[in-house]
Amino acid sequence: MKEIRSGAGADALVRATAADGQIRCMAAVTTDTVAEAARRHGTSDTVAAALGRTLTGAALLGAWQKEFDRLTVQIECDGPVGGITVETNSRGEVRGYVRNPEADAPLNAEGKFDVRAVVGGGMLYVTTESGFDIGLYREPYRGSVPITSGEIGEDFTYYLAKSEQIPSAVMLGVLIRARASGETFVEAAGGLMVQVMPGADERTIAAVESSVSRAPHTTKLIREGATPAEMLRAALGDVPFEVLEERPVTFACPCSYERAVSLISSIDRAELRAMLSEDRGAALTCHFCNETYRIDEPSLSEIVQSRNV
């Protein structure tokens, strides 16, 4: 099975614990992953920021997933973007799409991309599933909260507090810059989450809170070349932490020509015949990565004939 990946970059994710497990933290650099998602879907800059923050937030939440786990974040919203869906697994592979990639809004009062304006109100859903790909499927867990901010980072914070009862600091950032030609590009993207686990002592919480509040902006650090571990160092200050795992992050989608053919093969025979005579082939586009698979006339004809048996 061929997988579509972005170029090998510096995108990576770490998960760590601090203060003897009282604090759980994760950080990620997702610049190439977000750029790849924006390029594939032809997003406006504001939507690139919204999708990029969601991709990064999902990757961070997914940092504690085990093999065969899958985590999906869905934002069902009434703003012009219409909806955002992102999926990630334990290998740091993420993919995602939005309903209206070209949706846009004027810059906000601070001169930044107005993510809140394109998202609007609605719901944030987080679904974790296990074993789906190997046929050992367990009942999924789904948590949801209303969208209270629309800036996405704050919505993840609210989700973690309300749905998982984990007080967290969440920082998600996508920095988009313009070249001299006027063309824009993702210069830096990434984020971090710092979570206070049950039973943490007050002194540790106070030290972490004070340090996190003084930390530089994540995209500033990433632009300067910081690794995820260095981002955690900047956020946690004097609080020592232990990195448990580092993994690459990539935009990856398991769709393929073979999967498109097998999907087409399951369509009703009359409908296949119509496709053959009217369209002289078939085209399938993957929602998640926007890749289009074209099945030409001879191949489609072969599929129809195989169905005649």
Q: Which residues bind Zn ion (CB under 5 A)?
A: 253, 255, 286, 288-289
**Nearest CB to Zn ion, comparing residues 86 and 253:** 253
**Nearest CB to Zn ion, comparing residues 99 and 273:** 99
- What are the beta bridge partners of residue 294? 283
Per DSSP bridges, beta strands 184-196 and 23-29 are antiparallel
Q: How far is the CB of 94 from Zn ion (least distance, A)?
A: 12
Q: How far is the CB of 291 from Zn ion (least distance, A)?
A: 5
Rounded to whole angstroms, the Cα distance separating 90 from 61 reads 10
In Å, how far from its chain's centre is CA 194? 18
Q: How far is the CB of 82 from Zn ion (least distance, A)?
A: 19
Q: How far is the CB of 87 from Zn ion (least distance, A)?
A: 10
**Nearest CB to Zn ion, comparing residues 28 and 37:** 37
**Nearest CB to Zn ion, comparing residues 156 and 288:** 288
- Please compute, for residue 150, the number of CA atoms within 13 A of its CA located in the half-sphere on the CB side: 18
Q: How far is the CB of 1 from Zn ion (least distance, A)?
A: 12
**Nearest CB to Zn ion, comparing residues 117 and 255:** 255
Angle formed at CA 296 by CA 295 and CA 297, multiple of 5 degrees:
125
In Å, how far from its chain's centre is CA 160? 16
Nearest Cα residue to 46 out of 114, 146, 95: 114
